[in-house]
Structure 1
Amino acid sequence: MRFLVYGNRTGLNKALTRKNGYWLTNLSNRKLLKCLQRQTRNLSQDTKTERSFPSVEEIKKYSPEQLLSFLKSGDLYLTNNDIEMIEKNDIAGEDFLLLKEDDLYRIGLPIAPAKRMIQLIEKVSKTSVMDKPITNLVHLFIDNSNIWIEGKYTVGNLERLGTFDSDRNSYCFKQLQIDHGRLLTTVQCGRKLGSAPLVIGSCPSPNDSLWARVRDQGFKVNIFDGDIGSHREKKIKLVLPATETIMSSDPGVLVLIAGDRDYRPLVKQAQKLNWTAETWFWSSGTSRLLKSDTIFRSLNNCYRTFSYGLGPDLTGKNDVLEVTD
């Protein structure tokens, strides 16, 4: 079916009587209305055949007796023996939601009912996630441990500034400065923050506009200062807080200013929970997997909005420093 838009009633009336392969009609208004009403009733009846499930929060509160009643009322085709297996293990609602297929085999449930029960758990969990309203709020997580390191090479090459690093076959502009407040404004793209931004690695300077810009939006910046090198440190200081955010908040936009593939499991988890995931980083320093799994925005295209340099101009071409807001 094609959806056509016409600017006036005359054009629409002509289209409605044209027979050119589109789904069009020349029915009278009354007949057309009856047709639409009949389609709506059919759609409503089809929808009613879908089984509605209690929410995850409701099932969590089920006692073992309430859970058994719920399972008996479903389309699991459980035998009396299957029910006895579940009853013997005194499984309550919260336990039920955490069950894996191997757990059901261990308590003696046959393969077929075990698989049906796992499908039910997945369907209930998915329904609960999809019921959450999707927001356009930005939840920002910055790995500041290598944004400057990679940036000094990228900006050096783009601007032909700094000294030449033969090991990397690249210019290196060590005087590069990054204003994280302007970086925040760049990645927000006019969207509102949904939570306090988290920065791991080196702490932005007190003169950085980040503090005021975040405060003006009603939040404080969370900082984990210090060197972040190992996968374990990144997991503790960024991945765990980010996971807590996506689990406890309505789905929004997870924005990572980072390039390491260490963050791929976090992205996958967010997407399962109906979140949009964006990666903003330098093109040369971003994992191929992060680029493919998220909406990738290269800082190469917008670095002039948030970075500047203080130092000698070896090219003699940059005479003016222009700062705009």
Structure 2
Amino acid sequence: MTVYVYVDNSNVWIEGMRISAVRKGMAASLHEAMNLRITDQTWTYDFGKLYELICPEGQQIGRSSLFGSRPPANDSIWELARAEGFEVFLFDRNAANREKQVDVGISTQIMEDSFLHMKPGDQLLLVSGDRDYLPTIESLAKRGFPTRVAFWEHATGNELKKAPIDFIPLDPAFEFITKK
């Protein structure tokens, strides 16, 4: 079995900043942090640790992709991802500084890979909790490609936590993936 990995960098980072804000007492709960848009702007994650967590040694990895908005020039996560064998896909933000094209880019690549590269028994690993991916996941399931979703518990749509999807919460590994 080969695992195809797709990571939504912005979602991992933003929701991790919310968890950090709650842990540091900046918000009373994740609900409050989400509703009031409270984040710990100093928090970041170690991509190498995330990779180690989601792609353990010995697992056959197919195409691995990291998606996100164009970063500042000094952001090293993209080079680290490339060094780990990830393809990096960057998109410009719109005039209102909002992220665009990332979710559609991920879904499009997943579907393309499922037709061009995946073989029966291969599996999708999505690191994002957005329900927008549900139609893509359902389409893959109909064709016999199972999906694992690894993401923050509070930010994962309930539909992505139910069988046949295998949900893996990142929350227990918060300290492990936090950049020191």
State the Cα distance separating 1:210 from its structure 2 match. Answer: 2.4
Q: Distance in 2 between matches of 1:167 and 1:266?
A: 28
Question: Normalising by structure 1, what TM-score?
Answer: 0.45
Amino acid at match of 2:26: T
232, 237, 253: which one aligns with 2:123: 253
Q: Distance in 1 between matches of 2:148 and 2:30?
A: 31
- Name the residue aligned to 1:63: none
- Deviation track 1:7-52 (CA, whole Å, cap 9, x = no partner) reads xxxxxxxxxxxxxxxxxxxxxxxxxxxxxxxxxxxxxxxxxxxxxx
92, 100, 111: which one aligns with 1:243: 111
- Name the residue aligned to 2:10: 145
Greater C-alpha radius of gyration:
1
| Structure 1 residue ranges without an equivalent (≥5) | 1-134, 215-219, 310-325
200, 214, 226: which one aligns with 2:92: 226
Residues 66 and 81 in structure 2, CA contact (< 8 A), matched pair in contact too = no
Residues 177 and 307 in structure 1, CA contact (< 8 A), matched pair in contact too = yes
Q: Is the partner of 2:14 in helix, strand or coil?
A: helix
Instruction: State the 4+ residue runs in structure 1 displaced beyond 4 angstroms.
Output: 165-168
The 5 A counterparts of 1:16-95 are none
- Name the residue aligned to 1:197: 65
Q: Distance in 1 between matches of 2:103 and 2:13?
A: 21
Residues 165 and 172 in structure 1, CA contact (< 8 A), matched pair in contact too = no
Residues 141 and 147 in structure 2, CA contact (< 8 A), matched pair in contact too = yes
Percent of residue pairs bearing the same amino acid type: 22
18, 21, 27: which one aligns with 1:164: 27
Q: Distance in 1 between matches of 2:30 and 2:178?
A: 25
Q: Is the partner of 2:10 in helix, strand or coil?
A: coil
The answer to which structure has the higher helix fraction is 1
Residues 145 and 202 in structure 1, CA contact (< 8 A), matched pair in contact too = no
- Name the residue aligned to 2:175: 304
Question: Normalising by structure 2, what TM-score?
Answer: 0.77
Amino acid at match of 1:258: S
Q: Is the partner of 2:119 in helix, strand or coil?
A: coil
| Structure 2 residue ranges without an equivalent (≥5) | none
State the Cα distance separating 1:178 from its structure 2 match. Answer: 1.1
Q: Distance in 2 between matches of 1:288 and 1:167?
A: 16
The answer to which structure has the higher strand fraction is 2
Residues 182/263 of structure 1: CA separation in 2 closer, same or farther (3 Å cut): same
Q: Which has the higher contact order (CA 8 A, sep 6+)?
A: 2
State the Cα distance separating 1:260 from its structure 2 match. Answer: 0.8
Moved more, 169-178 or 183-192: 169-178
Residues 246 and 273 in structure 1, CA contact (< 8 A), matched pair in contact too = no
Residues 137 and 147 in structure 2, CA contact (< 8 A), matched pair in contact too = yes
Amino acid at match of 1:290: L
Q: Is the partner of 1:189 in helix, strand or coil?
A: coil
Superposition CA RMSD, Å: 2.7
1:179 aligns with 2:46: yes
Residues 18 and 30 in structure 2, CA contact (< 8 A), matched pair in contact too = no
